[in-house]
Amino acid sequence: MIELKDVTVRYPNGVVGLDGVNLTIPDGQFVVVVGLSGAGKSTLIRAINGLVPITSGSLTVDGQEVSGASKRELRRLRSGIGMIFQSFNLVKRTSVMNNVIMGQLHDVPAYRSLVGAWTKEEKEIAYRSLERVGIVEKAWTRASHLSGGQQQRVAIARALAQDPTVMLADEPVASLDPPTAQMVMKDLQRINRELSITTLVNLHFLDLARQFGQRVIGMRAGQVVFDGTGAEADDAVFEQIYGRSLTADDVLPGA
């Protein structure tokens, strides 16, 4: 369970990223976070995995207070949290297999990743993770030779290989074309259902938020201004979250 109680994040330059956020995210939930640029979506994700320190309040993941955690506790926390980014963040000049195995090994000695000296078990975990996203046949392809959608699937497999209890995805489909975005969202949803991994996804596109958000959280200026189901999140709700009328840019073209 992820729990935020009156969490505020004030960046060193004085900008408030989160402003008194209260949220409880039960285990296994699939949550979509929406809001205009600057609303605090990425700050929320970064605060949960301890990348951005909270200024006040309390933020716990499975009972562990994130703020004030020791280096060792933070490492343990992060090893249980899979991260997915818009830009995939793969090591492009090495194989898919190496990328996925590196997800399991937070403290791997550098020489092992250089020579690719993986154990049989490490490789098996990687194969299983790649199977989950349907691209096991790309295991020995160089990451730079994959399409964007395939790269994002490898990034999901890499996160899965670390056997996380939580998956945090910051605009995972923002660089993908509409059909590919659908497929990647379906992968995340399937994995959430099959493995009960608590999943938090920041999204730009409202139709995707409605379609996939078991729960939709709307943010504005660092605050939670909507918390409900995808079905409840109609245009009027989104206009309230965005503080403006909706435009064609707010929906995924051709989806």
Ligand X SMILES: Nc1ncnc2c1ncn2[C@@H]1O[C@H](COP(=O)(O)OP(=O)(O)OP(=O)(O)O)[C@@H](O)[C@H]1O
CA pair distance 103, 154, nearest whole angstrom = 10
Distance of CA 31 to the CA centre of its chain: 10
Total residues contacting Mg ion by CB under 5 A comes to: 2
Shortest separation between residue 198's beta carbon and Mg ion, angstroms: 20
Work out whether 201 is an interface residue with ligand X (CB under 6 A).
no
Q: Which is nearer to ligand X, 96 or 217 (CB)?
A: 217
Cα 176 to Cα 181: distance, rounded to the nearest angstrom: 5
Query: Quick one: 2 or 135, whose CB is closer to ligand X?
Result: 2
Q: Is the CB of 8 or the CB of 29 nearer to ligand X?
A: 8
Q: How far is the CB of 39 from ligand X (least distance, A)?
A: 4
Buried b (16+ CB within 10 A) or exposed e, 41-53: bbbbbbbbbbebe
Residue 38 contacts which entry, ligand X, Mg ion, none (Cβ below 5-8 A, type-dependent): ligand X
Which two three-digit tokens encode residue 93? 């000049």
Q: Which one of the spans 13-21, 135-143, 175-183, 233-241 is the region binding ligand X (CB under 6 A)?
A: 13-21
Q: Is 13 in the site for ligand X (CB under 6 A)?
A: yes
Give the per-residue contact string, 25-64, with Mg ion (x = CB under 5 A; - = no). ----------------xx----------------------
Shortest Å distance, C-beta 146 to ligand X = 24
Among 7, 30, 32, 43, binds ligand X (CB under 6 A): 43
Least distance from ligand X to the Cβ atom of residue 229, Å? 21
180's CB contacts (< 8 A; 6+ apart) are 147, 148, 149, 173
Site for ligand X in 23-42 (CB under 6 A): 35, 37-42
Q: Backbone dihedral region of 134: left (phi > 0), alpha (psi from -120 to 50 degrees) or beta? A: left
Task: Give Cβ neighbours of residue 9 (< 8 Å, ≥ 6 apart).
Answer: 16, 17, 18, 40, 43, 47, 52, 53, 54, 55, 222
Distance from C-alpha of 42 to C-alpha of 48, rounded to nearest angstrom: 10
Contact residues toward ligand X (CB under 6 A) are: 11, 13, 15, 17, 35, 37-43
